[in-house]
Structure 1
C-alpha cells in the first residue's frame, strides 16, 4: 500500500500498488475531472507530484519537459511507486464537502430578444378538494378534506394524501445540460417564478462529452453512479429552491425536463448504450409523463414529470423546449435558423414550413475544455477579448492574475488574433502575411519569432484528419460512424507522433520575456482586471516545445494545438449550418433571423462568430440571442399545458438530416476548417 498526502485537502489516501492516482483518489471520494473519460488523451486530469521521482512521468503533448521535471502528471495514467505528496489543481470534487466549482455566467444582453412571461393560461395540473371539484359542500365540519390533482394527461383525478390546505401547487422546470444544470420553482396558480438555482453537472468528472459518459455508464455500476450523481444534485437544487422560497417539496406536483437524450436516460437510470452505436435507439419515451420517482426526485409522491418531444437520438427535449421561444420558427411564411451552441451543436431550420434538424459534435473546445489553458467561468478566467487598434484587451473575471480562458472568451480571442495577424486563414499561429506587416511591428512580433513552417502547422487534410480514421468518428470511437460529425478522441489528445515531439523542448517565457500591464475595467456589476498588450509590450508570442504559443498571462497561453481544436469545433458547426441551408435550397441571405441558444452562445459576439467563420457571411446582423432557451421553454411548458399540445403537433413533420450522408460533407468540412481571409472584403 502506498500513502499519498493530498493537498490542498490535507488528507492521506492509501493507493494500491499498480493503481492509478485517479482510481485511488476516486475510492476515497476525490473525483478528478477526466474530460476524455480517463483514456489519457485530453490532458485534463492534471496533478503535481511534490517529489517527481515517486511518480513516473505520464507522457503527453500538453506536458512540457519543464513541467514534467517539476512533477506534472495525469491522474488517469499516473501510478505512484512510493509514498509522496500531490497537489490538486482546480479540477476536482471532494465527496466530503470540498469542491472546485465555476460560476454560471448570467445576466441580460442588450441585444437579447425580449420575452414576456405569461401567467398560467391552461395549466397541466391543478389541485382541488373533492367538494370543490364536485361543486358540493361538506356535510360536516368533522369531515376531512380530500385533495385531488387533476392532470391533463390523466383520465382520473389523483388523490393527494399528503396535501395540506395551506399548500399551493408548484412546479419545477429543469434543464440538464452536459455541462450545467438549471432549475426554477414556479407557482402553478400564478405562473410566478419563486426561486432559481444552477450548478455544474456533477457528471463532468467522468467526461465532458456525452460519448465519454455513455461509455462510463455501459456497466451497471457506472450507470448507477451516473444516475445517482445527477439525481442527488437535482434533489439538492430542489431543496434549495424550497428553502429559499418558503415552500415544501410536497407542494411540487408537476415537473418539466429539457435535456439531450443521454442526460435524460442517465437521469432516469436508463442504459444509454444504444445511443452510442447504430441504429442509435432512444429508449426513453417523450411527449409523455413519468412518475417523479422514476427520476429519483424527492417531491410529492404523486408528482408527474413531463418530457417534451425528442426529435432524434441527438436532438433532445432541450431543443424542443427552446424552440418555443422562437415563434418565427413556426411561421410558415419565414425562414429561420436555430442554433444551440453547446458540446452537441444542435441545429434546426424552418424554410416556409419545411423543417429540418441535425446535430454536430462540436466538442468542448468552445466551452474552454480540452485547451491548454481552458477553464470554466470563475476568477482568473478571461471572458472577453477586444482588439482596439494596436491594443488587445483581455477582460478577466475577478481581481486575480489570469489563469486561463473560458468559453465566452475563446471566439473573441481567436477573432482578435486573426484581426491582429497572429493567425492566418489556415490557422497557423504567428504566420503574418504582407498585409499585416504593420501589425507585426505594432505588436512586437519579429520574423524570428514566427518560427512556424508550412510543414509543421499547415492545414493539410491529413493533419485535420480528413480521412475516415481521423475526422469521421468510427463506431468504436464516437458511436455514430461517419453519420455524426463526431471528432474522434484526437479532438482531445494528440497522436503518438505529436507526443514524441516532446524530445525537442524550449523553456516557456518568464516574466522578463513577457510583461503585461494590469488595469481596472468597470463592468456592469463589478470591476474586472484587464490585460493590455500593445506596441510597448514585449511580444506575447513565444515557443513551447518547438511550437508557437500566445501567452496572455504568466502561464496562461493558447497553443497551436488549441487553435486546431477550435478549428475542428467551428468547422463541425459551420458544416452543419451550410449543409442544412444547401439541402433547403437557400443561402444565409434568405434567412429572416438566426436564433442562438445555450449558455455558451448567450455570451458570444455575433460579429466575431462571423469573423472566425463559425457563422456564414451576412449572418451577424440576423442574430437574436435567446439565452438558456431550454430552461425558459421548460418554464412555458410548466405554466401552460396547451404549449405541450402545440409543440407535440408542430414537430411531427420535422425531418432529420444525416450530415455525413451528403457526398459534399467531407469537402465542406475540410473547407470550413480554415478561417475567413480578412484581406478579402466581404
Structure 2
C-alpha cells in the first residue's frame, strides 16, 4: 500500500501500488478535472509532482505533455500510476464564481396560477399550504405571503438557480456555478459510463445535490428568505442530468434502444433527493422527448412559443449536445447530435472554460492585425468556446484555414505579413499563434470540424425529414448559455449554419431557466406541455442510411 496526499486540499488516502493518481483522487474526495473521464484524450487532468516524488510515479498512455512540462514535474493524473508514497499538487483552476454563465433569456408572459398556494385561516390563526388542491401542511400564524419556488437549470457544464416569489411571479435572486459532475466527464456519454456503477452514480448525485443546495442557500440569503419557505423546485435539464439529479440509473441511455427510465411530467419529494427546502417540498420534472432531447428543450419549446409560431422556425441549443427542434406552423420534430466538448473549450490544446482571461472574441483586421477580447479584460489565459468559433470563423474568412480545414503554407500564400508570421509549427505540425503561448493547432481545427459537422448534419437531416429547404426557414432561434455568447457571423463562416440563415438568427439566452419559471408559475402550462410533448416527432438521425455521408459533407468550412 502507498500513501498519497493531495495539495492544497490536504486530502490523503492509502491505496494499492499501481493505482492511478486520478483513481486515488476520486476515492479521497480530491477534485481533479478530467473531462474525458480518464480516457486519456483531453489532457486536462494535469497535476504536478515535486522532484523527490517523481521516481514513484510511472506515466504512460497516448496523450503526451511537452518535454518542458514533463521537466517541470507535470503529469496526467489519468495515465500516471503510483508506485510509492507521494504528494500531488492539484493546480487551482477556474472557480465556479469566475465562470461567465448566462442566467437570463427570453421569457413569455405568464398568468400566475401556481401548483402551490397558501391560505391563511383567521379563525384558526394558521396558514394552510395547498398543493394541487390538497392541503399538505399547516403553519402557525399568517405566512401566506411567504411562498417561493426555485428553478434549477441543470446543464451538462453549468448550473443556474433562480428564486421566484410564487405569489407575485417576481424573480428575487439568481446564482450560478460549474456543474461539479463536469470534473469527472465533460460530455453526457462519459457521465452515463461513470454513473452506470452504483458508486459512480452515488457520487454524481451527491455532488450535484450538494452544489444545488449551496445555490439554493445563496439565493435564499440574497433575498433574505428562509429555505423552509421554498415549496417547489423545477429541475430543467437534459435527460441524463434529470436521471443523475434524482439518483436514477442512467445506463439505459447509453445502450440500444436508448430508453430513459424517467419521462418527466411528475413530482418527486424534495427531501428524498436531499434538497434543503420545505419538508413538504416537491420537485417537478418537466416532460422529456427522448433519451437525448430532455426537459431543457421542452422548457425551451415553451419559452419560445414554438407551438404558436407561424411559418418555419428552427430552434437550436448548441453545447456538448446539439439539440434542435423544427416547427412548421406549430407542428414539431426534434433531433439531437453529439457535438462533443470542443465548444466548451475541452479537447482543445489551449481550451478553457468561460472564466477570467478566456479569449471570447477574435477579429482579423484588413491588414492582418489581430484583435482579441478576453473575459474581464484580463491577460489571455486560454480559449473558451465562443472565442474558438470566432477564431475559426475569422481564419477561414481571411484564408489562413482552407475549406478542408487545413492551414495554408505561409510561403505559398498571399496573406498579409501580420498573418503569415503567426502561422507557426507546433510539435512539428501547423498552428496559429493567437497571443503569447496560446495557439490553435491543426488538431484543434479537426475538433471544431467534428463538433460543427455534427450539428450541421443534424440541421440538414431535420430539415429533410419535413421536406423543408434551408431558404424556407423564416427564423432561427439559438438557445442556451453558450449559444448566447456566439456571433451569427462566426456560425455562418465556419458552416455550422447555412449562409441563407444570415439575418434570420436570434439569440434567446437561457430558455431552460425561463421555460422552467413559466412551469413554476402556471400549472395549466404544465398540462399543456405534457399534452404537447407526445405530438413532437423525435427523429433518430442514426436511422438515416446516409447519415455518415451527410456528416462528412458537413465537415468542410
Deviation of 1:619 (Å): 1.1
Structure 1 residues 148 and 9 mapped into 2: Cα distance closer, same or farther (>3 Å)?
A: closer
Which aligned pairs between 1:316-327 and structure 2 lie closer than 5 A?
316-327=294-305
Which residue number in structure 2 is paired with residue 224 of structure 1?
Answer: 202
CA distances 1:354-401 after superposition (whole Å, capped 9, x unpaired):
310010000110111111111011222111111221212111224543
CA distance, structure 2, for counterparts of residue 343 and residue 123 of structure 1: 33
Which segment drifts farther, 261-270 or 278-287? 278-287
Three-state SS of the structure 1 residue aligned to 2:477 is strand
CA distance, structure 1, for counterparts of residue 377 and residue 394 of structure 2: 23
Deviation of 1:310 (Å): 0.5
When the two structures are superposed, what TM-score results if normalisation uses the length of structure 2?
0.93
Query: 1:127 aligned to 2:118?
Result: yes
Which residue number in structure 2 is paired with residue 372 of structure 1?
Answer: 349
Structure 1 residues 101 and 379 mapped into 2: Cα distance closer, same or farther (>3 Å)?
A: same
Query: 1:346 aligned to 2:323?
Result: yes
Which residue number in structure 2 is paired with residue 680 of structure 1?
Answer: none
2:153 to 160, 172, 175: 175
Structure 1 residues 549 and 442 mapped into 2: Cα distance closer, same or farther (>3 Å)?
A: closer
Deviation of 1:83 (Å): 4.8
Structure 1, unaligned runs of 5 or more: 93-98, 132-136, 446-538, 676-682
CA distance, structure 1, for counterparts of residue 506 and residue 514 of structure 2: 15
Deviation of 1:16 (Å): 4.2
Which residue number in structure 1 is paired with residue 387 of structure 2?
Answer: 409
Contact 1:102–1:376 (8 Å) recurs in 2: no
Contact 1:45–1:91 (8 Å) recurs in 2: no
Contact 1:332–1:352 (8 Å) recurs in 2: yes
Which residue number in structure 1 is paired with residue 336 of structure 2?
Answer: 359
CA distance, structure 1, for counterparts of residue 304 and residue 411 of structure 2: 42
Which aligned pairs between 1:71-470 and structure 2 lie closer than 5 A?
71-83=73-85, 85-91=87-93, 102-106=98-102, 115=107, 118=110, 120-129=111-120, 131=121, 138=123, 143-145=124-126, 147-152=127-132, 156-161=134-139, 165=143, 168-327=146-305, 329-331=306-308, 333-389=310-366, 390-398=368-376, 400-431=378-409, 437-443=413-419, 445=420
When the two structures are superposed, what TM-score results if normalisation uses the length of structure 1?
0.77
CA distances 1:546-570 after superposition (whole Å, capped 9, x unpaired):
2112222333221111111110000
Contact 2:491–2:497 (8 Å) recurs in 1: yes
Structure 1 residues 5 and 149 mapped into 2: Cα distance closer, same or farther (>3 Å)?
A: closer
Which aligned pairs between 1:523-534 and structure 2 lie closer than 5 A?
none
Deviation of 1:37 (Å): 1.1
CA distance, structure 2, for counterparts of residue 195 and residue 336 of structure 1: 32
CA distances 1:20-62 after superposition (whole Å, capped 9, x unpaired):
1112233333111111111223222112333254433334345
1:617 to 489, 499, 507: 499
Three-state SS of the structure 2 residue aligned to 1:325 is helix
CA distance, structure 1, for counterparts of residue 87 and residue 236 of structure 2: 43
CA distance, structure 1, for counterparts of residue 43 and residue 295 of structure 2: 32
Three-state SS of the structure 1 residue aligned to 2:235 is strand
CA distance, structure 1, for counterparts of residue 513 and residue 392 of structure 2: 30
CA distances 1:404-431 after superposition (whole Å, capped 9, x unpaired):
1011211101011112322111111234
CA distance, structure 1, for counterparts of residue 55 and residue 431 of structure 2: 29
Contact 2:103–2:513 (8 Å) recurs in 1: no
Query: 1:22 aligned to 2:2?
Result: no
Deviation of 1:163 (Å): 7.7
Deviation of 1:591 (Å): 1.1
The structure having more radius of gyration, on CA atoms, is 1
CA distances 1:201-234 after superposition (whole Å, capped 9, x unpaired):
0111210111111111112211111111111111
Three-state SS of the structure 2 residue aligned to 1:626 is strand
Contact 2:345–2:352 (8 Å) recurs in 1: yes
Structure 1 residues 8 and 294 mapped into 2: Cα distance closer, same or farther (>3 Å)?
A: closer
1:605 to 482, 487, 499: 487
CA distance, structure 2, for counterparts of residue 100 and residue 286 of structure 1: 29
Which residue number in structure 1 is paired with residue 48 of structure 2?
Answer: 48
Structure 1 residues 7 and 64 mapped into 2: Cα distance closer, same or farther (>3 Å)?
A: same
CA distances 1:631-650 after superposition (whole Å, capped 9, x unpaired):
01101111222221222223
